[in-house]
Structure 1
Amino acid sequence: MTWRPIRMLVPLLLVVVWLAVGGGFGSYAGKLTEVSTNDQAAFLPESAESTRVLDVQEKFRQGATQPLIVVWTADGGTITPEQTAAATQMLNSLRGTAGVVGSPTPAFGSDDGLALRGVIQLDPDIPPRELLDRIRPAVAVDGLRAELAGPAATRADLSAAFAGIDGLLLGVALITVLIILLAVYRSVLLPLIIIVGSVFALTLASAVVYFLADRGVVKVDGQVQGILFILVIGAATDYALLLTARFREELAATGDRFAAGRIAVRRSFEPIVASAATVALGLLALLLSNLTNNRALGPVGAIGIVCAALSALTFLPAVLVLLGRTALWPAKPRPADAATRGIWSRVAAAVDRRPRRLWILTTLPLIALALFTPQLNARGVPLDETFVNDAPSVAAQATLSKHFPGGSGQPAVVVAPAERADAVVAAARGVKGVPDAAVVTQTGRPADSPKVVDGLVLVEATLSDAPDSDAAQDTVQRLRAALAFDRGVLVGGYTAQRYDTTETAENDTLLIVPVVLAIILLILIVLLRSLMAPVLLVVTVALNFLATLGLSTLVFTHIFGFTGVDASVPLYGFVFLVALGVDYNIFLMSRVREETVRHGVREGILRGLVTTGGVITSAGVVLAATFAALVVIPLAFLVQTAFIVALGVLLDTLVVRSLLVPALVRDLGPRAWWPSRLGRGTPPSQPREDTAHASITGDR
């Protein structure tokens, strides 16, 4: 009589601890925006030439500001001298006002006489939306339409895109997961328990990330914050589905909630920990990247995964033990052999009948899709495609490019020794795609003396093409080659930053991909105690990634109309898809190995497929749906990443894990477990009485 209250003590304490975590740290998910930055200059490759230029610009007090370009156009006809004077007066009126650094340039006209342009340097420490709301009416000129372009305007639109990310994105993700769980479990209470556990995991992860970001240990921007939310909710739900399925199975077999909870945790601990380690270490491999935002995502994502696993292995089983059958109401516990009925028994029968034909028929379409992968253009997203909806800065940039040279407002910035300034200007003007180049002066007016800092000057080279175009990047390469006569000359600016980021992302992919594959392979070898099975799993998951990328290339080009993808999208897609794809194979193959030890190789793969089929498919749908929620943030990078991960997870769950892997293992037989005892055909141990079932295929 005294043992039962003691057994209740541990789960009660665990629940109390998590309630304290939720109550004490509940506000930190919303507070992450306080330590986030959407200034893309903070996430450039550290060793790139354009980053070194930015460091020099700070000495000129240009790196400490953000340019805002005001462009005026007439509703009809040419712009009058009176309107030009009025525009200049409006710009001068902003001098000395809060947030405006230095003196704005005068307004000067385009060659066609239909537009004016002026540049205002803004303090980057003040929220850009607040500044632009104040500047927009201040630059109004009668008879002219004023638009705001340039880095400061783009940053303001980014801030608007991420506004409410902690509420909107989280709400959409949680509602999506709740609807799926209600459909899967047909239970009222259990989906809410899983959702609460996911929120507690996110609360803890957000508090840890906030603490580290506030002390400068990690960097956080809107993209990293959004991915953290989705990753934690999706992973915590996946782990919860696996543990809950095992609890329900054991509760039906034993009738004792304490025993069911203990067995469920013991049987789920290894695959959940292996899965979490796979994703966390895969994300930590991003620390090898030379891109700061990639390195930021690594530890932040790993923290989220650890918190998700911790919640699933402590809070969830504690609540399940305390509530017992009540947690499943109105559904009832389902024994393991109940899972042998329905679609998964038919899938297992198909795998058993013709495994070789099945894995060949599933492999060939994947290979065909993978052949489209080289067509993916990963040189970056043009500015007019950065936002998936209409953004004011994009429209303003289009207006600017229509009336001025394509690179107006965002020139290439050349750092040169002061004594070589004339030679650098002459060489820059001789480069194809550079219509003009000039030294930055003390006042910003062409006739004044050059501004010299530490023996260096800045030369601004206007580009003929739009600064976000491939042609402009080619011009930057030619400019660097033409100025290579002096090692002290560096070429930077917006276009150079895009080029350096793309090149760095490609190098990062070549470095990080094999590291992630090696990490996953080692974890699988330890988990499955074999070599052949882990190699097969890594190969199939890699094939799934390539097929997903190939199919995404077709969709992006012919349906979504993207002309390119962000340089980091392939790497993000690889890390998420390969690590998360291995997750489902871990769930499957750990159960297959368990059943193989009891029932033999052939029966083991069939039982493992049937008993995990429903839960893994549900987990895949949940994860795909949570990543799809990223589309509520209207940025091409997140839309592209969300599509690739969601598509890849569904393809992996429904094809690779359900058909390809089981058919391969069934066809190989004991060889799939080489060189373990199972690979030598060692007879299975006698199955336990509470888990011995009739043959899946009905021929025992």
Structure 2
Amino acid sequence: MGQTGRTAGYGRVIPWAVLVLWVVAIAVAGSFAGKLADVQRDRPADYLPSGADSTRVARLQEELPGGEATGVLLVYHRDGGLTAADRVTAERQVAAVTVPAGTAAGTAGTASAAPKAGSATSPASLAASKDPRDFAATLHGPGVPSADGTTLMYAVSTTAPGTDDTAKKAFVEAVRAHARGADGLTVRVGGDGAVDVDAKEVFGSIDGTLMLATGLVVALLLILTYRSPVLWLVPLVVVGAGAVCARAAVYGLASGFGLTVTSQSAGIMTVLVFGAGTDYALLLVARYRDELRRTPLPYDAMRSALRGCGPALLASCGTVVAGLACLLAADLNNIRGLGPVGAVGVLCALIAMTTLLPAILVLLGRRVFWPLIPAYGSEPKQGGPGVFAAMGSSAGRRPVAVLVTGVVLLGALALGVFQLPGALKREDSFTAKPESIAAMATLAEAFPDRGTRPIEVMAPTGAADRILAEARSVEGVAGAERGRSGGGWTEIAVTAGAPPESAAESAAIERLRAALDGAHVGGASARQLDLATTNAHDRLLVIPLVLASVLLVLVLLLRSLVAPLLLVAAVVLVWGAALGLGGLVFGPVFGFTGVDPGLPLLTFVFLVALGVDYGIFLMHRTREETRAGAEPARAALTALRTTGAVIASAGIVLAATFAVLASLPLVMFVELGTVVAVGVVLDTFLVRTYLVTSASVLLGRTVWWPGRPAGPSAPAAAPAVAPPPASDLVAERR
């Protein structure tokens, strides 16, 4: 058999072998991918700094008798003022959801009580209960009326569910079923326990919603891009296979090595797989289409396509993985866990797009491009100079003016950062208000000068009396009560004399931490304070690491120092502009009252690691043109003309996939999706098209310093390719 015959044989055997291996891999991975939700953890400690005081409190509370407590607040409200009948109704309903004080296994306020006779006792059996008394909930003191007489608040808690989320949900739902208003009396169930349940409900809907919405968006964009009834389906199926394998791999890491996986990191991984995977597919398919016009056999065309764009794909994946790996240095548990979770997703996307996608395309042959089939020896359809050629021409004619204008524009947008709202409060983290958030809003209005959720202090039992007395004497504290004891620690519930997450309450928390020697101060407000502090620390540590790692990958790929610095400077400018635009719209347009503390760090990682991809594709093609003999200015313009359309398509897909996050009912996802989507659009249509191109024209060969790409010379003539036997052509073109 001749060389052509052997190539034709490989073109049939190797793709089939790859396809079979992938079928086996998906069959195995599918059974584990569905279990990822089982190992996702969204408890407060999973989002906290590993070394923070509030994290220590959360862990110590789990070791107290009864374990983790679930606390709720019953909020009774009437606009014109509560009546005597309203108070009777409130007392009757509270009695119906708590056990009598005499049956408590301990003193009042311990949040631990014996269940009523005949009731279920395990969290699993409690999950089916409709009677709140089965949970042995304890009432903490009498109802607290507001000064204006419109609101009455009762604090109730239980340890029966422990850490079982299903039992917690059952408890909150049972309380809500028994606490109902009528005739103008509004009754809502709030508090940390109810907020946790409502948040878990929202998080539980994210996976399916995000997967479906992202798949639909990618499918629509691929149909518009390829204008083929078949071709769009191939990348979509392949990226879906990559997503299945990624979910299975992350499940293995979580169950086998204790990797922290939250709903946030799992959702972002889905977006990364679909966004990055589709980008890789667009670049590879475009190069493959070009090679089919120059090469008779699809297998050979695919090999050439992989050789041509493979380095750019590897570098693109490398920058994202390197940037995400830097998150391992973060102190926040959820941010640190996002690093390996996201990296696994991007790696699975790259493997799928460089193995399974080529195999399917080769097996389907040229007909997959129908009706725009690229025939061997044909030329691309010419439709005029093209929009990217026109853009490149304007950048080439006036590079200084274009560069200065673009930098000034992005710099002006970046000034919007100063308009970003303050830190996002927990009660403001939902785009719609579930019942628990509405209850907390009512309390904030009714008790403007009082804390409505406890500051939780864990004190050594031997020093509990001293610490209790010291806590009551701290400025800004309205009261403090002793709680459960066990394992050498005692829980003290402190009430602040200021609303939750206000500056005054934060100051009281800081004073408590300074005054209470040997104790740990936590609770919901302290957690938010620690989150903001740790995010600021993580930014100072992680951002330089991301910049250094991305620069290293670019230097290795481009063998230059100037070009990598140019690309990184461009994406950093894009990040500032995108964040500035967020500052202009989050408050005035979206009505958000705060920004998630992790937003600057996460958007920086994604925009630098992902945004530099398009610069990689452009500069890699520029280097190819330069080495082929083109003058530097012409090489830059040719690279823009030849890669502009496919990179624009990739940018639109990536921006659209991140924009899907904005459809989720959580403010942090809306903010993250908006900033990254805007940044990708700016990078695709402004920075890469105009700024990088004009800078390349201005710098000339200096852009490759200290490397020395080949100078202008006539490219070597391409060797003649003997046509294969007719039988082989017929077999491969089908």
TM-score exceeds 0.5: yes
How far apart in 1 are the matches of 2:19 and 2:65? 54
Q: How do 1:307-456 and structure 2 match up within 5 A?
A: 307-333=348-374, 335=379, 338=382, 341-377=385-421, 379=423, 381-404=424-447, 408-418=451-461, 420-440=463-483, 451-453=484-486, 455-456=488-489
Q: Which residue of 2 aligns with 1:443?
A: none
Amino acid at match of 1:489: A
Please report how far the alpha carbon of residue 374 of structure 1 lies from its aligned counterpart in structure 2 after TM superposition: 4.1
CA shift in 2, pair 1:250/1:663, >3 Å: same
CA contact (8 A) 1:405 1:464 kept: no
Conserved 8 A contact 2:49-2:332: yes
Q: Aligned residues: percent identity?
A: 38
Measured in 1, the distance between the counterparts of 2:25 and 2:506 equals: 49
Separation in structure 1 between the aligned mates of residue 208 and residue 56 of structure 2, nearest angstrom: 38
Is the 8 Å Cα contact of residues 651 and 684 (structure 2) preserved in structure 1?
A: yes
CA contact (8 A) 1:542 1:578 kept: yes
In structure 2, the CA distance between the partners of 1:19 and 1:77, relative to structure 1 (3 Å rule), is same
Residues 253-311 of structure 1: CA distance to partner in whole angstroms, max 9, x if unpaired? 22431221010011111111111111011111111011100111110100000000001
Contact kept, 8 Å, 1:21 with 1:200, in 2: the verdict is no
Q: How many residues align?
A: 675
- Contact residue 21 and residue 203 of structure 1 kept, 8 A: no
Counterpart-to-counterpart distance in 2, 1:347 and 1:524: 25
| TM score, norm. by length of structure 2 | 0.87
Which of residues 498, 509, 517 is equivalent to 2:547?
517
Question: TM-score, length-normalised on structure 1?
Answer: 0.91
Aligned counterpart, 2:525: 495
Offset of residue 609 of structure 1: 0.7
Give me the whole-angstrom Cα distance separating, in 2, the residues matched to 1:403 and 1:690: 84
Q: Is the 8 Å Cα contact of residues 420 and 586 (structure 2) preserved in structure 1?
A: no
CA RMSD of aligned residues (A): 2.5
Structure 2 counterpart of 1:618, from 649, 659, 672:
649
- Is the counterpart of residue 37 in structure 1 residue 70 in structure 2? no
The match for 1:469 is 502
Q: CA deviation at 1:656?
A: 0.7
Distance 1:661 1:304 in 2: 29
Q: Does 1:125 align with 2:125?
A: no
Question: Aligned partners of 2:174 and 2:45: how far apart in 1?
Answer: 24
Residue from 482, 487, 508 that aligns with 2:538: 508
More displaced stretch, 622-631 vs 407-416: 407-416
In structure 2, the partner of 1:229 is 270
The farther-off stretch of 212-221 and 404-413 is 404-413
Partner of 2:584: 554
Structure 2 counterparts to residues 27-426 of structure 1, below 5 A:
28-61=32-65, 64-74=68-78, 77-80=82-85, 82-93=88-99, 96=115, 98=126, 103-105=137-139, 107-112=142-147, 113=149, 114-122=151-159, 123=161, 124-127=163-166, 128-140=168-180, 145-333=186-374, 335=379, 338=382, 341-377=385-421, 379=423, 381-404=424-447, 408-418=451-461, 420-426=463-469
Q: CA deviation at 1:326?
A: 0.9
Structure 1 counterpart SS, 2:500: coil
Amino acid aligned to 1:393: S
Match of 2:711 among 682, 690, 693: 682
Q: Cα offset for 1:362?
A: 0.7
Q: Distance in 2 between matches of 1:454 and 1:260?
A: 69
Q: Which amino acid aligns with 1:133?
A: E
| Change in 2 beyond 3 A, CA 1:137/1:337 | closer
Contact 1:91 1:105 in 2 (8 A): no
2: CA distance, partners of 1:203 / 1:251 = 31
Structure 1 residues 41 and 66: alpha-carbon distance in aligned structure 2, compared to 1, 3 A threshold? farther
Give distance in 2, aligned partners of 1:292 and 1:534: 31
Q: 3-state DSSP class of the match of 1:181?
A: helix
SS in 2 for 1:557: coil
Could you tell me whether the CA contact under 8 Å between 1:620 and 1:649 is conserved in 2? yes
Amino acid at match of 2:174: R
Q: Name the SS for the 2:35 alignment partner.
A: helix
Show the counterpart of 2:662: 631
Partner of 1:649: 680
After superposing the two structures, state which structure 1 stretch, 331-340 or 413-422, moved more: 331-340
C-alpha change, 1:216 and 1:407, in structure 2 (3 Å) is: farther
SS at match of 1:558: coil
Please tell me whether the aligned partners of residues 312 and 616 of structure 2 are also in contact (alpha carbons under 8 angstroms).
yes
For residues 605-630 of structure 1, what are the alpha-carbon distances to aligned partners after superposition, in whole Å with 9 as ceiling and x for unaligned? 11111111001110000011011111
3-state SS in 1 of match to 2:457: strand
From 512, 517, 522, the equivalent of 1:479 is 512
**Preserved CA contact (<8 Å) 1:69 1:148:** yes
Q: Which moved more, 1:655-664 or 1:132-141?
A: 132-141
Specify whether residues 293 and 49 from structure 1 end up closer, same or farther in structure 2 by C-alpha distance, changes over 3 A only. Answer: same
Kept after mapping to 1: 8 A contact 2:11/2:298: no
Query: Which digits, 9 at most, give the CA deviation of each residue in 1:312-339, with x for residues without a partner?
Result: 1111111222222211111133857959
Tell me if structure 1 keeps the 8 A contact 2:452–2:499.
no
Contact 2:54/2:520 (<8 A) preserved: yes
| Residue pair 2:459, 2:519 contacting (<8 A) in 1 also | yes
* Structure 2 letter corresponding to 1:686: P
